Amino acid sequence: MKEPTHKEQKELWEWCGFTPIEGRWYRLPEGFFERRDGVPFNAVTPLPPIDLNNLFEYAVPIALKIITEQGYCPPIMKSPMV
């Protein structure tokens, strides 16, 4: 499988809420903070690599929000165990 192009990566992360500031720098999506010296702040960062950790941190919550807003609730989310 081929790697996503820079344009495809940029589109994915902007869909996830990363806001372009200037050049290669982006502000983290609303509600996400990094810590520096124990203090949370809305970091300015280059786009993260596309890997499972980042997809589950940023993309999956957005996808679930969109799915539930459209009225579809996956059966796993109806389980009393979740």
Nearest to 9 by CA among 46, 47, 56, 63: 47
pLDDT of residue 40: 53
22 within a domain of the structure (yes/no)? yes
82 within a domain of the structure (yes/no)? no
1 within a domain of the structure (yes/no)? no
Q: Return d(Cα 6, Cα 42) in angstroms, integer.
A: 23
Other CB atoms within 10 Å distance of the CB of residue 13: 21
Residue 37's domain spans which residues? 6-74
Number of domains in the chain: 1
Q: Which residue has the higher pLDDT, 74 or 67?
A: 67
Share of the chain above pLDDT 90, in %: 15
Q: Which residue has the higher pLDDT, 26 or 12?
A: 12
Mean pLDDT of the chain: 77
46 within a domain of the structure (yes/no)? yes
79 within a domain of the structure (yes/no)? no
pLDDT of residue 74: 59
21-25, 39-43, 50-54: least confidently modelled range: 39-43
